Copies of this chain bind each other. A is one copy, B any other.
Amino acid sequence: MFKIKPVEKIPVPENVKRYLKEAIGEHKVLDDEMDRMLYSYDATRLSVPPDVVVIPESEEDVQKVVKICYENDIPITPRGAGSGYTGGSIPVKGGVLISFEKMDKILWIDEDNAVAKVQPGVITYKLQQAVEKRGLFYPPDPASYKFCTLGGNVAENAGGPRCVKYGVTREYIMELDTVIYTGDIIHTGRITLKDVAGYDITRLLIGSEGTLGIFTGITVKLIPKPKAKKTVKAVYMDLESVGKTVKDIFKAGISPSALEFMDKLAINAVEDFGHFGLPRDAEVILLIEVDGHPKALEDEITEVARICEQNGAKVEIAKTDREAEKLWEARRSLSPAVAKLGRTKINEDIVFPRSYLPEALPRLREIGKKYNLKMVNFGHIGDGNVHANFMINGLDPDEVARAEKAVEEVFELALSYRGSITGEHGVGITKAEFMRKQFSPQEMEIMRKIKRVWDPKNLINPGKMDLD
């Protein structure tokens, strides 16, 4: 787990560094020790320093850098905020890392067509705030939304709690400007809801983890901001009733804007961390948010509460926005709270078809017990996306070895239900060896050949997704 296969690193020769500096300006090309270290890691805490860090300020800068690197056989790795969980922005082969921190402008917001165009370095939250002021809404909300960037969101096809109702990043990208290996820019997609000319290159690029081209412009779809929302907390003493509740809510024709769960260990971790007043003896807590038209909302939240109660839960509807916010604060504090349980957090984001969760979750816990590991499960039960966390001492080789086996079994469990090894985090380097478990040799071959169409020399974010 979390090891980087030793690969030959490709140094950037002095003459290429000079070309880069001449092409885009000396101050945008960094190569001292400290800068290289600063751009060497992501949220996995794995680290490989690039040979050179480039901070472009325009699309033209990116074009020049890609052209120079490609002609000189230098690997190129794009990086947003470095908040990824699978090493996608780690320059495993060295070379040039392109950081988008200065390409952070919202270029325009078109209210009439409900679209906005941003540079890839714009922080997701910044876009959300800007459009909400105008009564519009950009739904995708990865946990890192306050610091991650839209470039990274597109590369990873980011999700979040709200995606159960609103869909993932893929559903909100209308157009992409992408620098391809030749240094040319391609413009794919349209700001129209319908456009069926040619292959859907835009969606091939979304979720490609920066391995096909480098995004320089992103046009997003916006929707009307929901007029109101309400939150219900439901406390369960058994898991089966939770599964039944989820089924019943969808059967009632209600599409919640969030449907989150935390298990007992997660509840206790949160309580140790922040004293939110959650019941420590509960088996599972569900947090359910419904949004929409105020009148429909009133009906729907009452119906949700009734369904939870019918399934044996102790139910509370948050009376004020303040009360609701406190519940969501507890949910958001899960990540830091869980991190306190061990030195090293292994955070896997597997997916099950929703209806199999009541059966799969106990089997997931069994894996933790079998390998004698501290395991915390929480996540997006409405879309079957479970964050299975092992909290280990990364310095204990025996514990690490057990965790490696456990992670493999976790993936196998998800795939045995025809789920996925990743719902939000992507594959990057940490899940690369598991691609072959999810995909057949023919499927892998097609993906590798597509990679080669876009990157004949394998220099664009190489070493990721088992596509080399």
Contact = CB atoms under 8 A, between A and B. Distances in A.
Interface of A: 110-114, 135, 156-157, 159, 163-164, 167-168, 170-171, 180, 182, 184, 186-188, 190-201, 203-204, 206-208, 223-225, 227, 247, 250-251, 253-255, 292-293, 295-296, 299-300, 351-355, 380, 383-385, 418-427, 431, 435, 438-440, 442-443, 446-447, 449-450, 453-454, 465
Contacts of A299: 293, 295
Contact of A208 (B194, B199, B354, B424): B199
Contacts of A292: 293, 296
Given A207-B199, A247-B112, A255-B224, A442 B180 contact: yes
A384 B225 CA distance: 22
A424 B192 CA distance: 12
Given A293-B296, A295-B295, A450-B450, A197 B431 contact: yes
Given A201-B447, A418-B190, A113 B195 contact: no
Nearest 5 A/B pairs, CB to CB:
A293-B296, A194-B423, A112-B355, A224-B253, A203-B203
A420 B189 CA distance: 9
A348 to B, nearest CB: 12
Contact of A255 (B223, B425, B454): B223
**Most B CB atoms within 10 A — which of A164, A187, A198, A422?**
A198
A249 to B, nearest CB: 10
Given A190-B420, A196-B423, 16 more contacts: A112-B247, A163-B194, A191-B353, A192-B352, A192-B420, A192-B423, A193-B383, A194-B385, A195-B423, A197-B438, A200-B208, A203-B204, A224-B250, A292-B296, A293-B296, A295-B299
Identical subunits present: 2
A351 to B, nearest CB: 4
Nearest to A449: B453
B198 A427 contact: yes
Nearest to A208: B199
Nearest to A227: B253
Contacts of A163: 193-194
A274 B182 CA distance: 58
Contacts of A201: 443, 446-447
B195 A422 contact: yes
Contact of A351 (B195, B351, B426, B453): B195
Given A171-B171, A197-B421, A383-B194, A440 B204 contact: no
18 contacts: A112-B250, A114-B250, A191-B353, A192-B351, A194-B380, A195-B351, A195-B420, A195-B423, A197-B439, A198-B443, A200-B207, A200-B208, A201-B443, A203-B204, A224-B250, A293-B295, A296-B296, A453-B453
Contacts of A422: 195-197
B192 A354 contact: yes
Nearest to A191: B353
Contact of A113 (B353, B435, B442): B353
B199 A425 contact: no
A362 B351 CA distance: 50
A426 B296 CA distance: 38
A156 B299 CA distance: 39
A192 B353 CA distance: 5
Contacts of A438: 197-198
Contacts of A447: 198-199, 201
Contacts of A135: 251, 253
B442 A446 contact: no
Contact of A443 (B188, B203, B352): B188
A43 to B, nearest CB: 16
A292 B14 CA distance: 64
Nearest to A466: B198
Given A206-B200, A424-B194, A443 B186 contact: yes
A195 B281 CA distance: 33
Contacts of A184: 442
A186 B438 CA distance: 12
Contacts of A170: 200, 203
Given A293-B295, A440-B187, A446-B453, A167 B192 contact: no
A435 B354 contact: no
A7 to B, nearest CB: 21
Contacts of A446: 180, 186, 201, 453-454
